[in-house]
């Protein structure tokens, strides 16, 4: 029997998630459900909402998509309250099942407390062992639970200080939203690797992963939470404090390349515009005579628009995507992934027959998608297929919250560009340079090697946060 996304074993310790928190709204839970719906691309495995009704917390968690599970009056009535936090889970960290769906909600010495996390901690296993040796009982296999225990153990007086105390012991990438009886909190790790923004809707405040989750409820963008900042939101408004001794910021450049929604703006940079600029840079860096520019939809579309504008070639939807199947990447066996690509994309034969095609995709990870698509275009009669990739070669795994396979499965970690071209079956293959990617992302001088402005570990192998947990470390090699 073919394995489905639900039955597969996951060998990784990572998660890609979306978070949302709202304070001071009569319809806190419906707003949170809508926000999570806008963040669905950050995680489709499961979702959870915890609401706060005058200090009493209610929760609902379910496997599957937000729209399928948070759509009934019954669920929304259960989630009464004027504040709420919510979470979309992608997969992989810990085991599957409702027990591992966030937010985590517990009763601490100071009352009810809930927390949700996007990112990945790189010393969670070590901390977990120490906590277990000290008598802590863990209910889940999620690294986020470590933060809960550390918060509970903190001797600081104020809950915000307890959270800072807890987070000063963890390493890795995280954007966290948390809630107690009277406040919501938002924290971004010292490098600001994952996104987190503040919004406002009337008198209500919002903390969420991306601005697209503000747009859906008509909230206005206030600002990004800064790297290493913890904000507290309550009846007095927003207060802010920072971790001591902050390093330079290193936001994840892959959020701009692929992961974030194109209509979001992160740290003042509009994701769609960056993707278009990447396409323009690609056209300048690796020009090729051709008839049309074709994206692999949807992720290759903005870069293909940029490439077409720069090269003067017509943009054509030479591949049509079915929107009724999930991302191919979610099914992690070669057998199912192979099937997934066929289900997802179809050649628009009348458009591509006899044409020399510039084919644009955002990235090559294992190479499965590119190989299938090139073959599909050739079978449909394309004269030539020149593949252009809107990111540099993915040579290293991510340990900061983007799901990537270990290095042995990364095509670019094991083959040079010519070998990859040959394996994919394209007539030519080129990737944007790391400097081109930085230029497209608004860094006019490219990557400053002494002090890079982004986390680009997946392309360079330079990991800004040390990898402490041994089994993660083994996968870096």
Q: How far apart are CA 405 and CA 398, in angstroms?
A: 8
Residue 334, classed as helix, strand or coil, is helix
Question: Phi/psi at 263 (nearest 5 deg)?
Answer: -85, 5
Nearer to ligand AMP, 367 or 452 (CB): 367
Nearer to ligand AMP, 232 or 404 (CB): 404
In whole angstroms, the minimum distance from the beta carbon of 344 to ligand AMP comes to 10
Nearer to ligand AMP, 181 or 336 (CB): 336
Nearer to ligand AMP, 128 or 475 (CB): 475
Nearer to ligand AMP, 402 or 430 (CB): 402
In whole angstroms, the minimum distance from the beta carbon of 258 to ligand AMP comes to 5
In whole angstroms, the minimum distance from the beta carbon of 91 to ligand AMP comes to 10
For residue 376, state whether it binds ligand AMP (rule: CB under 6 A).
no
In whole angstroms, the minimum distance from the beta carbon of 411 to ligand AMP comes to 7
Among 41, 61, 366, 447, the residue binding ligand AMP under the rule CB under 6 A is 366
**Distant-in-sequence, close-in-space partners of 80: CB < 8 Å, separation ≥ 6:** 29, 51, 53, 58
Q: Which of 285, 287, 315 is nearest to 300 (CA)?
A: 315
Q: Which stretch binds ligand AMP (CB under 6 A): 33-41, 241-249, 304-312, 402-410?
A: 402-410
Burial of 313 (0-12, 13-18, 19+ CB in 10 A): buried
Q: Enumerate residues 441-470 that contact ligand AMP by CB under 6 A.
A: none
Q: Which stretch binds ligand AMP (CB under 6 A): 98-106, 136-144, 263-271, 358-366?
A: 358-366
Nearer to ligand AMP, 154 or 369 (CB): 369
Burial of 244 (0-12, 13-18, 19+ CB in 10 A): exposed
For residue 368, state whether it binds ligand AMP (rule: CB under 6 A).
yes
In the chain, what is the greatest distance between 2 CA atoms, to the nearest angstrom? 71
Nearer to ligand AMP, 264 or 404 (CB): 404
Contact 47, 66 (CB under 8 A): yes
Q: Which two tokens stand for residue 10?
A: 């996951």
Among 402, 434, 440, 455, the residue binding ligand AMP under the rule CB under 6 A is 402
Q: Which stretch binds ligand AMP (CB under 6 A): 109-117, 126-134, 166-174, 398-406?
A: 398-406
Q: Which of 394, 329, 340, 348 is nearest to 372 (CA)?
A: 340
Among 187, 365, 376, 467, the residue binding ligand AMP under the rule CB under 6 A is 365
Q: Which of 186, 185, 182 is nearest to 197 (CA)?
A: 186
For residue 258, state whether it binds ligand AMP (rule: CB under 6 A).
yes
Burial of 407 (0-12, 13-18, 19+ CB in 10 A): middle
* 246: preceding bond cis by omega (within 30 degrees): no
Nearer to ligand AMP, 321 or 353 (CB): 321
In whole angstroms, the minimum distance from the beta carbon of 396 to ligand AMP comes to 13
Residues designated as active site: 17
In whole angstroms, the minimum distance from the beta carbon of 174 to ligand AMP comes to 17
Q: Which stretch binds ligand AMP (CB under 6 A): 95-103, 136-144, 362-370, 415-423?
A: 362-370
Q: How far apart are CA 407 and CA 415, in angstroms?
A: 11
Nearer to ligand AMP, 24 or 392 (CB): 392
For residue 329, state whether it binds ligand AMP (rule: CB under 6 A).
yes
Q: Which of 79, 68, 66 is nearest to 29 (CA)?
A: 79
Q: Which stretch binds ligand AMP (CB under 6 A): 129-137, 159-167, 368-376, 446-454?
A: 368-376
Among 327, 338, 353, 415, the residue binding ligand AMP under the rule CB under 6 A is 327
Q: How many residues bind ligand AMP (CB under 6 A)?
A: 18
Among 255, 362, 384, 469, the residue binding ligand AMP under the rule CB under 6 A is 362
The H-or-E segment that residue 411 falls in is helix 411-414
Q: How far apart are CA 19 and CA 48, in angstroms?
A: 10
The contact mask relative to ligand AMP for 94-133 (x = CB under 6 A, - = no) is: ----------------------------------------
Note the residue count of the chain. 477
Pairing of strands 292-295, 197-201: unpaired
Q: Enumerate residues 274-313 that contact ligand AMP by CB under 6 A.
A: 296, 299
The conformational region for residue 118 under phi > 0 = left, psi -120 to 50 = alpha, else beta, is beta
Residue 269, classed as helix, strand or coil, is strand
Cα-Cα-Cα-Cα torsion 424, 307, 432, 275, nearest 10 degrees, comes to: -110
Radius of gyration of the chain (CA): 22
In the block, tokens 């983007």 appear at 402
In whole angstroms, the minimum distance from the beta carbon of 463 to ligand AMP comes to 17
**Distant-in-sequence, close-in-space partners of 371: CB < 8 Å, separation ≥ 6:** 423, 424, 425
For residue 361, state whether it binds ligand AMP (rule: CB under 6 A).
yes
Q: For binding to ligand AMP (CB under 6 A), which residues are involved?
A: 258, 296, 299, 327, 329, 361-370, 402-404
């Amino acid at each position: 029997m073919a394995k489905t996304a639900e039955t597969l074993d996951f060998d990784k310790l990572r998660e890609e998630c979306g978070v949302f928190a709202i304070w001071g709204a009569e319809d806190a839970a419906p707003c949170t459900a809508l926000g999570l719906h806008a963040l669905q691309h950050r995680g489709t495995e499961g979702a959870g909402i915890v609401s706060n009704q005058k200090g009493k917390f209610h929760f609902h968690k379910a496997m599957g998509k937000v729209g399928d599970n948070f759509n009934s009056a019954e669920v929304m009535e259960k989630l009464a309250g004027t504040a709420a936090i919510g979470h979309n889970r992608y997969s992989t960290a810990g085991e599957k099942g409702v027990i591992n769906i966030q937010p985590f909600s517990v009763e601490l010495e100071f009352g009810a407390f809930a927390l949700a996390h996007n990112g990945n901690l790189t010393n969670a296993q070590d901390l977990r062992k120490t906590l277990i040796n000290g008598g802590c009982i863990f209910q889940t296999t999620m690294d986020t639970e470590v933060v809960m225990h550390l918060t509970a153990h903190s001797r600081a007086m104020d809950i915000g200080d307890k959270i800072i105390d807890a987070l000063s012991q963890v390493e890795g990438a995280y954007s966290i939203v948390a809630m107690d009886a009277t406040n919501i909190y938002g924290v971004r790790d010292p490098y600001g690797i994952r996104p987190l923004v503040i919004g406002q809707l009337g008198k209500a405040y919002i903390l969420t992963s991306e601005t697209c989750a503000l747009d859906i409820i008509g909230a206005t963008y206030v600002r990004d939470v800064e790297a290493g900042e913890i904000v507290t939101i309550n009846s007095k408004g927003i207060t802010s404090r920072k971790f001591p001794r902050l390093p330079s910021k290193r936001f994840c450049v892959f959020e701009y390349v692929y992961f974030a929604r194109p209509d979001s703006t992160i740290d003042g940079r509009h994701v769609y515009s960056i993707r278009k600029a990447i396409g323009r840079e690609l056209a300048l860096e690796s020009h090729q005579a051709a008839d049309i520019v074709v994206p692999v939809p949807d992720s290759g579309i903005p870069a293909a628009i940029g490439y077409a504008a720069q090269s003067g070639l017509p943009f054509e939807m030479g591949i049509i995507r079915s929107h009724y199947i999930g991302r191919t990447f979610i099914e992690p066996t070669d057998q199912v992934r192979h099937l997934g690509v066929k289900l997802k994309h179809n050649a628009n034969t009348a458009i591509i027959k006899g044409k020399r095609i510039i084919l644009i995709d955002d990235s090559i990870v294992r190479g499965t998608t590119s190989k299938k698509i090139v073959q599909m275009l050739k079978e449909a009669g394309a004269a030539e297929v020149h593949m252009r990739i809107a990111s540099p070669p993915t040579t290293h795994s991510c340990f900061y919250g983007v799901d990537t396979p270990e290095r042995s499965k990364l095509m670019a970690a094991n083959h040079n560009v010519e070998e990859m071209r040959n394996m994919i079956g394209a007539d030519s293959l080129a990737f944007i340079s790391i400097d081109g990617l930085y230029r497209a992302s608004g860094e006019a001088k490219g990557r400053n090697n002494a002090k890079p402005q982004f986390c680009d570990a997946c392309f360079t192998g330079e990991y800004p946060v040390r990898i402490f947990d041994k089994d993660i470390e083994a996968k870096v090699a």
